[in-house]
Amino acid sequence: QVQLVESGGGLVQAGDSLRLSCVASGRIVSWYAMAWFRQAPGKEREFVAAIDPGDGSTTYADAVKGRFTISRESTKITKYLQMNNLEVEDTAGYYCAARWQDVSSDYREYRYWGQGTQVAVSS
């Protein structure tokens, strides 16, 4: 079992920045690929970013590339999503997810999920 707890969401203006955190606990969390997804009302959950548990390589959705950065602490327990130059279109619930070893951009391949944290961006 892996438990995930997100924090850091809030209401900001377009152009502002936020940093989301995801704290993982449970068995061998360092071996799990971690990702961030988001879901806006009435829309399907979409991939945002992921980080490989081994070499720390990162993957981003085109919509956030160059603005968002996923990272982790050296212990690999806490993952971050630094969101810069936020846009109104970034408004959504943001979810941290984990799956064994390999990263994926398909939310259906992730077994463990956090409760989510809300991000609202006003114009």
Total Cβ atoms within 10 A of residue 37: 25
- The Cα 46–Cα 37 span in angstroms is 5
Percent of the chain whose pLDDT exceeds 90 = 81
- The Cα 120–Cα 123 span in angstroms is 10
Listed residue (17, 14, 33) closest to 82, CA to CA? 17
* The 18-26 sheet, strands edge to edge: 2-7, 18-26, 78-83, 68-72
The amino acid present at 10, given as its one-letter code, is G
The average confidence (pLDDT) of the chain is 94
pLDDT of residue 101: 82
What is the arithmetic mean of pLDDT over 79-84?
97
Q: pLDDT confidence of 28, banded at 50, 70, 90?
A: confident
- Whether 100 shows a pLDDT value over 80: the answer reads yes
Q: pLDDT confidence of 77, banded at 50, 70, 90?
A: confident
Tokens of 62: 């085109």
What is the arithmetic mean of pLDDT over 94-100?
95
pLDDT of residue 26: 85
Q: pLDDT confidence of 27, banded at 50, 70, 90?
A: confident
Q: Are strands 68-72 and 78-83 parallel, antiparallel or unpaired?
A: antiparallel
